[in-house]
Structure 1
Amino acid sequence: MSLRFICFGLVACWVAGLTSAMPATDPPLQPFGKYGCGQHGPKNRACWRDNFDIFTDTSTKIPDTGKTRTYDLTITNVSSFSSADGVSKPAMLINGQFPGPTIVADWGDWVKVNVHNQLQHNGTSIHWHGIWQKNTNDQDGANGATECPIPPGASKTYLFRMHQYGTAWYHSHFSAQYGNGVVGTIQVNGPASANYDVDLGPFSITDWYYETADRLERRAELVSNGPPPDSDNILFNGTHVNAQGGGKYSRTTLQPGKKHRLRLINTSLDNAFTVSMVGHTFTVIATDLVPVVPVKKDTLFMTVGQRYDVIIEANQKVENYWFNATLASSRFCGTTRIKQPAAIFSYAGASKTKKPTNPGTPVNAVCSDTVGFSPVVKKGAPKKEFLKSQGYLDVNLETPVIDDVAVFRWEVNGSSINVEWDRPILEYIREGDFDWPREANVIDIAQKNVWTFWVLENLGPVPHPMHLHGHDFLVLGAGDSQFDRVAGVNSLNFDNPIRRDVAELPGGGHLVIAFQTDNPGAHLLHCHIAWHVSRGLSVMFLERKGDIPKTVNLDNLEPNCKKWRAYEPTAVWPQSDSGL
């Protein structure tokens, strides 16, 4: 049973990742001169095109490619799906596959995605995890916040621009639905902070349950059931062997002597991993969608939703090597029934059938974010502004009795989020009505282009992967106790700290973040453990509500909301959780 489900409060504990860090061997990055950077290629990845390079601040400048990439995603029910690991289970798939198709675009492209909901009895929505959605907040895919769900038999077109580059993913935000298979990866091509020869593309790692996610979520609500069950398997790019030996290992081929870019993504519902590759190190070049100065790590902790772009150099013997995903023994970062989750990385010329023989050194799996990264484009927040004002988000796990049954409810500052599928917050803004329900957990941020600071406090032992929509954020600091409101500021880093859109809020401590109000819209900040957000662990930042009608096309809401409102009274499965 996963202890990650049971926790009593929100104040976080930050323990530095116990991975070794070594400087990368490539020459240090240097800004290009007035004559530009040259041609993008294996020997010059820092350059892109048209005077855009790794030093370009993506928040203020992006290429105008003039291109729109179009994709069609059809979501269907499958009563028996066994391609993942040989065990048959019901699933919801995108275009008949798991994970769904990879969306590939270049930095600056527009992306048009037609989503067709062919599920019989479920709505859906697609959130583009990590994509800022600047001036397109209505395309964020967060039902109850930025849109109504797409009803069965209906379609919706999402249109947005890639302001960033790197690795992201997409998933349903309709309750815990993505755990049934409604998930895929995103690759946005652009410059890189280190050179490489081969781009291997996205490499997703996820927990896998034979029971449907909606049943697990409903079971997890009841206090009498305790924590949700262990995951039945861990999949690598959608496949793995099962506990009885069926299924197959995921295999990736490396070219001897070449440097390979691998785009790691944790797309789990609950499980976090420490990843490593026997005999090899990772040169990290990006955290989520933020390019970083290259740094070598033996292991990387990956909580739910996080991404790392890494370079693996094939400089060892021509053999097969284990790529391991290890769970912490504390059980606070999820548990699985599979004993040794692993994929196989094979040098070209090695046996295509034999398993690796070297198990490698046991990994000290942790339950805290890996640290030691420096963003290439430097940003900092003013300490004096933090001293003037900061918000506090205290989270508690309550167990109210409803209809004589004790249930779990997560509260942020005393309130569990519960969104209205038929009336998202952007609809309130469209109508000029600011009287939304208290349980929408709206936090109004009115000022333009200022830094806003938030201290998350966790009173329980279980960590939470906290994800912010519409922004990445500065991780100013964290600790294993409640934040000291007098002396704590001295422990924070305001000078180019790590930036990302998911950070682990450790148990029993605090996490301090900051972001700029440069993107009007309704932006969720939520735990990415499905059982936690479905029971209330989220707030919604309403950023510059007066500017939303000027920057976001709110008329886009009505066609889909009209369809949903017509369907909802006849829905077989009415909303039974937070809706997220």
Structure 2
Amino acid sequence: MLSRSSIIFVCFGMLARAATVTYDFNITWVTANPDGVFIRPVMGINGQGPIPYITATVGDRVVVNVLNQLGNASTSLHFHGLYMNGTSHMDGPVGVTQCSIPPGITFTYNFTVDQPGTYWYHSHEPGQYPDGLRGPMIITDPNSPYRGSYDEERILTISDWYHEQFPTMVKKFISVSNPTGAEPVPKAALFNDTQNLTTLVQPGKTYMFRIINMGAFASQYFWIEGHNMQIVEVDGIYTQEAAADMIYLTAAQRYSVLVTTKNDTSANFAYVASMDEDLFDKAPRSLNPNVTGWLVYDSSANLPKPALLDAFEPFDDFTLVPTDGEPLLPDPDYYVPLTVLMMNLGDGANYASFNSIPYTMPKVPTLYSALTTGEEANNPAIYGTNSNAFVLEKNQIVDIIVNNNDPGKHPFHLHGHNFQAIVRSDDDAGNYIGNETFPTIPMRRDTFMVRPNGNIVLRFRADNPDKSPPFPPSIPPLS
């Protein structure tokens, strides 16, 4: 049993380890040529593109001072996968937790990170991050269950890349001239925002690769030739080690894998990401869906071409088991049914919708309405008919039932929480009918893929209520 003096010592010791990590970000336009084919403007930070990594340790306060000097565009930053407990006004989605940051205006994000893992940060102004405003965010953990299991870390981002700037493409995508809603096909795939990436390794060592799909659209298959991967984390959730020859990452998903290198330096080995072409209505013949990098044991040796595959057979992430052993949450108090549908509206364009409601951004950010309307904050109607709001009570167990009535695969992400994936159907299974047996220890993550014409059930506890003050000083006023 600790004495009072021991308790005080432990508390001060914990405080001493926490730090304030400050980043000063000046967001501007820069030029880049990631695929080596086409030079174009991209969004950079401090004159740099790709943009800097954000790193911190569990318990740290992170302060990001943003100056928007784009000149012709408003922006924001979202820290994808962080729950923002008690600081949801720092989450970043425009129209939800804040107004846009206009050109010439500063905004300070200030929050404490209390969760370890592999994350990323990106603009949450609609249709903007594919133009370059996206980068890794790594939260290290002194108490990781895998501390001591590897020698070094490597960060590996995967992304799709377009030559046309995204605002122009979005106008073409949601247009009467595109009535089927065919998504624009990327021009290339990238590793760490480039191609032909080399990763120096030493023999007989174990590396933890933090792999992040920062893409706009394309899911990616990933594998390393001649090496096995041991999955140890997905979306910030530690998992029991699981051997995988190949993994599949939807846009926004993250994996950490352990890779033990060979004991000789006689050859180098390719690693490959391949875009899931099932997502494309029609891919041009000129498209190379693959991007190749290499584990380099010997920089003077050849960089081999990857072998051709007969089929993609990725690891099934539904089988992962979290190391904390969190059991299935109790039966739900509340159900959120969401039917995914692509639909043509009166203007002839094709829109994505939940429950036949295409999202329309409210003029007043949702959080502002919640903080300033008193009892009316419990009325979903005040958030706007086309915001499709559901009002939850603190600590309710909630089941989100996603029925994908579309022949395409769709990633689904939840802000502020991770979720237990308790049901996932096969392709073409139709809507959820409620007769499945749930796992006793479900896998958890914050981004999950819903299969074509299939369904998924995601369970979580609504334990992250907003504690933000009304209109924090760092939030730009409504125009």
TM-score, normalisation: structure 2: 0.89
Describe the superposition over 1:386-413 as per-residue Cα deviations: whole angstroms up to 9, x where unpaired: 4x653311121110132xxx10122211
Contact 1:138 1:426 in 2 (8 A): yes
Residue 273 (structure 2) aligns with: 325
1:406-555 equivalences under 5 Å are 406-420=348-362, 422-432=363-373, 434=377, 435-446=382-393, 448-480=394-426, 481-488=429-436, 490=437, 492-493=438-439, 495-520=440-465, 548=466, 551-555=467-471
Cα distance in 1 for residues equivalent to 2:45 and 2:364: 26
Cα distance in 2 for residues equivalent to 1:431 and 1:106: 34
Shift of 1:369: 5.5
Give the direction of change, closer, same or farther, for the CA distance of 1:331–1:135 in structure 2 (3 Å limit): closer
Cα distance in 1 for residues equivalent to 2:314 and 2:153: 27
Q: SS at the partner of 1:218?
A: helix
Cα distance in 1 for residues equivalent to 2:371 and 2:435: 43
Cα distance in 2 for residues equivalent to 1:282 and 1:307: 14
Q: SS at the partner of 2:390?
A: strand
Residue 351 (structure 1) aligns with: 300
Shift of 1:237: 0.6
Residue 27 (structure 2) aligns with: 75
Describe the superposition over 1:49-82 as per-residue Cα deviations: whole angstroms up to 9, x where unpaired: x79xxxxxxxxxx98733110011221123x422
Cα distance in 1 for residues equivalent to 2:137 and 2:92: 15
Cα distance in 2 for residues equivalent to 1:389 and 1:430: 23
Contact 1:102 1:185 in 2 (8 A): yes
Cα distance in 1 for residues equivalent to 2:442 and 2:328: 9
Q: Which structure 2 segments of 5+ residues have no match?
A: 3-9
Residue 245 (structure 2) aligns with: 298
1:133 aligns with 2:74: no
Contact 1:276 1:325 in 2 (8 A): yes
Contact 2:117 2:139 in 1 (8 A): yes
Residue 171 (structure 1) aligns with: 122
Q: SS at the partner of 1:251?
A: strand
1:104-115 equivalences under 5 Å are 104-115=55-66
1:47-66 equivalences under 5 Å are 65-66=17-18
Cα distance in 2 for residues equivalent to 1:374 and 1:262: 19
Cα distance in 1 for residues equivalent to 2:197 and 2:295: 8
Shift of 1:296: 1.1
Cα distance in 2 for residues equivalent to 1:334 and 1:285: 36
Residue 192 (structure 1) aligns with: 144
Cα distance in 2 for residues equivalent to 1:445 and 1:335: 42
Contact 2:122 2:129 in 1 (8 A): yes
Shift of 1:192: 3.3
1:149 aligns with 2:95: no
Give the direction of change, closer, same or farther, for the CA distance of 1:276–1:111 in structure 2 (3 Å limit): same
Partner residue of 1:161 out of 70, 87, 112: 112
Give the direction of change, closer, same or farther, for the CA distance of 1:212–1:116 in structure 2 (3 Å limit): same
1:117 aligns with 2:65: no
Contact 1:327 1:365 in 2 (8 A): no
Residue 31 (structure 1) aligns with: none
Cα distance in 1 for residues equivalent to 2:434 and 2:202: 54
- Which segment drifts farther, 197-206 or 266-275? 197-206
Shift of 1:376: 0.7
Shift of 1:199: 2.9
Cα distance in 2 for residues equivalent to 1:333 and 1:271: 12
Give the direction of change, closer, same or farther, for the CA distance of 1:208–1:329 in structure 2 (3 Å limit): closer
Cα distance in 2 for residues equivalent to 1:361 and 1:165: 37
Contact 2:24 2:65 in 1 (8 A): yes
- Which segment drifts farther, 295-304 or 434-443? 434-443
Partner residue of 1:233 out of 188, 205, 208: 188
Amino acid at match of 1:171: H
Residue 561 (structure 1) aligns with: 476
RMSD: 2.5
TM-score, normalisation: structure 1: 0.74
- Which segment drifts farther, 95-104 or 160-169? 95-104
Q: SS at the partner of 2:52?
A: strand
Residue 399 (structure 1) aligns with: 344
Amino acid at match of 1:110: R
Shift of 1:155: 0.9
Give the direction of change, closer, same or farther, for the CA distance of 1:418–1:322 in structure 2 (3 Å limit): same
Residue 218 (structure 1) aligns with: 171
Describe the superposition over 1:339-379 as per-residue Cα deviations: whole angstroms up to 9, x where unpaired: 532112211x3427x3225x236163369963321101121
Cα distance in 2 for residues equivalent to 1:332 and 1:368: 22
Q: SS at the partner of 2:239?
A: strand
Q: Which structure 1 segments of 5+ residues have no match?
A: 1-33, 36-49, 52-61, 241-248, 521-547, 566-580
Contact 1:276 1:299 in 2 (8 A): yes
Contact 1:128 1:141 in 2 (8 A): yes
Describe the superposition over 1:7-49 as per-residue Cα deviations: whole angstroms up to 9, x where unpaired: xxxxxxxxxxxxxxxxxxxxxxxxxxx99xxxxxxxxxxxxxx
Q: Identity of aligned pairs, percent? A: 27
Shift of 1:454: 1.4
Give the direction of change, closer, same or farther, for the CA distance of 1:456–1:331 in structure 2 (3 Å limit): closer
Cα distance in 2 for residues equivalent to 1:196 and 1:474: 27
Shift of 1:559: 5.1
Amino acid at match of 2:463: D
Shift of 1:255: 1.3
Shift of 1:425: 1.0
Give the direction of change, closer, same or farther, for the CA distance of 1:379–1:154 in structure 2 (3 Å limit): same
Give the direction of change, closer, same or farther, for the CA distance of 1:486–1:343 in structure 2 (3 Å limit): closer
Give the direction of change, closer, same or farther, for the CA distance of 1:500–1:216 in structure 2 (3 Å limit): same
Cα distance in 1 for residues equivalent to 2:434 and 2:323: 32
Shift of 1:503: 0.2
Residue 342 (structure 1) aligns with: 292
Residue 540 (structure 1) aligns with: none
Cα distance in 1 for residues equivalent to 2:29 and 2:411: 29
Contact 1:117 1:124 in 2 (8 A): yes
Q: Report 1 or 2 for greater relative contact order, CA contacts < 8 Å, sequence distance ≥ 6.
A: 1
- Which segment drifts farther, 279-288 or 97-106? 97-106
Cα distance in 1 for residues equivalent to 2:166 and 2:275: 21
Residue 250 (structure 1) aligns with: 197
Amino acid at match of 2:113: M
Describe the superposition over 1:510-563 as per-residue Cα deviations: whole angstroms up to 9, x where unpaired: 01001111101xxxxxxxxxxxxxxxxxxxxxxxxxxx3xx222331x55332x
Describe the superposition over 1:105-135 as per-residue Cα deviations: whole angstroms up to 9, x where unpaired: 1111110011111111111010000001000
How many correspondences in the alignment?
A: 455
Cα distance in 2 for residues equivalent to 1:153 and 1:137: 24
Contact 1:467 1:502 in 2 (8 A): yes
